Structure 1
Amino acid sequence: MRADRLVSLVLLLRRHGRLTADTLARELGVSTRTVLRDIDALSVAGVPVYAERGRHGGFALLPGFRTELTGLNHDEALALLAAGPGRGEQVFGLGPALASALRKVVDALPEGHRATASDAAGRFLVDPETDLLSRRPVTDEVPGAAMIEIRRAVLAGHKLRIHYAATGRVPQWRTVDPIGLVTVRDRGYLLATRSGADRTYRLSRVLAAEELPEPAQRPGRVDLDRIWRERSARFLGDGHLTVLVRVDPARREDLLDMAVAVRAEEPDADGRLRLELTFQDARHAEWALWQLGTDAEALAPQSLRTALHDRAAAMAGRYADPS
């Protein structure tokens, strides 16, 4: 266990250049004191780790230090083989590259690990094509040539021209500064800026793309997770409808599948769940709650309750006994 941790520590320093003891402890899941002991062990073993003092200090490796740390243990190989066939390779067009990489991982394993890791990975299934209700997920389809250009521009830090079909609009060419790619529930997004303003583009709506030679205007390092959270918060607060709902716990997942986001959730006194949900608009909320019948009740806003009441009354009138 400690040997694996020492290897991970060296790899972290090689990747990031300089990290504080607190950051290393958080990444490795150990205490700061353990990290300091590991640093001492590496120094004794001849690994040139040095400390930089001051406000922006930390630990780093001497420039140019390289060593081969390519060995994978059984659980590391198993993690790659089991988690590899996920969503990202489908949305970002990396399926063939991932398959090739996994073949190399298996081939590089020691003979004793190769068969056991492959057999164990075959007992894990991540994100099958259908769920227990035989519903197939809807995966975004992105033209292969366009996806290659998008990936190249993102990785090279170049500007990108995309032929984009926004909802309800005629497709147009636009030039953007790409920041990164995100996949959420089999949907891919390009995070970018355009003329300095934040923009988020659905990859399935990109009809064509072209990497440009000019460098993109973007920071050298980005925190995609933080950027995505910020943009999601702005999106949810822009013209969407917040609804308070009571729902039978057995129908919770059905309701969440139709909502845009969950803002709050707590149990209600009668065993039901009280949820604060976000929908695209009033029409979307009315449609979603109508699907659940009496298993869900809209508590607010009143306009939604009125709309559902009127729809139910009209339906009851339509099927009333003619006699």
Structure 2
Amino acid sequence: MQRTERLFALAEYLRGRRTGVTAEVLAERFSVTVRTIYRDLDALRAAALPVGAERGRGGGYALDRGYSLPPVNFTAREAALVVALGRFAIGMRLLPFTGTLESALDKVRSALSTSAQRELLDRLRELTFLGVPSLPTRKPVREALERAWFERQPLRITYVDGNFLETVREVRIESVVMDRHETRLDAVDLASGERRHFRLDRITRAEVVGA
């Protein structure tokens, strides 16, 4: 990667995070030395980008929160990979947030010119993914999960365990674990305080608490 290209990529990376990141992490991300990262950060400041250093937990280098760069322009190559990976995640049923993902992919496509969209379609025809999809999940369950996850709200689920026993629980999602054959919620049962995994395909009903 040439230095000019790296500087632009560094600015985009900082813009995308907006939280502090250390020089060591940046050096690893761009496969350069920490000293080189310091020089690159100085170059960005000299170009009038408001790069500052934050102290404390989550600190590091970050762009000023009030600063914005022009909209990101995808090349057909970049868009093809983003769309292909998104389609793979949907097709394999790994990522439960399909509504948000499909909306994002539509925006990536719409941002391309007509010729770039044609090239995108050509590239996608040449990409094939093989694998065993995760077990299916009901659409209303995915939609409720998506809302609870992004809005950080409790979720009331009807769950069927391995002994076919059905229970209703209110949980707080801590993380989503995506395996090759199943997707699991790492969640805290709000009644017992117990933390456990819930297989997504075993959730028959779900609703955001208070919705």
Query: Normalized against structure 2, the TM-score is what?
Result: 0.82
1:220-239 aligned within 5 A: none
Give how far 1:115 is off.
Answer: 2.7
Q: Is structure 2 residue 143 aligned with structure 1 residue 148? A: yes
**Bigger Cα Rg:** 1
Q: 2:32, 2:150 → 1: CA distance?
A: 32
Question: 1:119 aligned to 117, 122, 139, which one?
Answer: 122
Q: 1:103, 1:151 → 2: CA distance?
A: 18
In structure 2, relative to structure 1, the CA distance for the partners of 1:56 and 1:83 (3 Å cut) is closer
Give how far 1:63 is off.
Answer: 3.0
In structure 2, relative to structure 1, the CA distance for the partners of 1:169 and 1:27 (3 Å cut) is same
In structure 2, relative to structure 1, the CA distance for the partners of 1:212 and 1:5 (3 Å cut) is farther
Q: SS in structure 1 opposite 2:121?
A: helix
Q: SS in structure 2 opposite 1:19?
A: coil
Give how far 1:44 is off.
Answer: 1.4
Q: 1:207, 1:156 → 2: CA distance?
A: 21
State the Cα deviation string for residues 162-216 of structure 1 (Å, max 9, x = none): 11001114201011111122221141111111233321000010011111149xx
Aligned residue for 2:6? 5
Structure 2: where are the runs of 5+ without partners? none
Q: Is structure 2 residue 169 aligned with structure 1 residue 174? A: yes
Q: 1:55, 1:80 → 2: CA distance?
A: 31
Q: 1:30, 1:186 → 2: CA distance?
A: 37
Q: Contact between 1:82 and 1:126, CA under 8 Å: does it hold in 2?
A: no
Q: 2:113, 2:100 → 1: CA distance?
A: 22
Paired residues, number: 206
Aligned residue for 1:207? 204
Give how far 1:121 is off.
Answer: 2.5
State the Cα deviation string for residues 61-101 of structure 1 (Å, max 9, x = none): 22311222411234322321332211356344544654453
Q: 1:76, 1:92 → 2: CA distance?
A: 21
Aligned residue for 2:60? 58
Q: 1:173, 1:189 → 2: CA distance?
A: 17
In structure 2, relative to structure 1, the CA distance for the partners of 1:52 and 1:206 (3 Å cut) is closer
Give how far 1:117 is off.
Answer: 3.2
Aligned residue for 1:24? 26
Aligned residue for 1:102? 105
Q: Contact between 2:157 and 2:204, CA under 8 Å: does it hold in 1?
A: yes
Q: Contact between 2:96 and 2:146, CA under 8 Å: does it hold in 1?
A: no
Matched residue type, 1:33: R
Give how far 1:53 is off.
Answer: 6.1
Q: Contact between 1:106 and 1:118, CA under 8 Å: does it hold in 2?
A: no
Give how far 1:57 is off.
Answer: 5.0
Give how far 1:30 is off.
Answer: 2.7
Q: Contact between 1:164 and 1:208, CA under 8 Å: does it hold in 2?
A: yes
Give how far 1:148 is off.
Answer: 0.9
Question: 2:70 aligned to 65, 68, 71, which one?
Answer: 68
Aligned residue for 1:267? none
Structure 1: where are the runs of 5+ without partners? 129-136, 215-323
State the Cα deviation string for residues 227-279 of structure 1 (Å, max 9, x = none): xxxxxxxxxxxxxxxxxxxxxxxxxxxxxxxxxxxxxxxxxxxxxxxxxxxxx
1:243-262 aligned within 5 A: none
Q: 2:95, 2:123 → 1: CA distance?
A: 27
CA RMSD in angstroms, aligned pairs only: 2.7
State the Cα deviation string for residues 280-313 of structure 1 (Å, max 9, x = none): xxxxxxxxxxxxxxxxxxxxxxxxxxxxxxxxxx
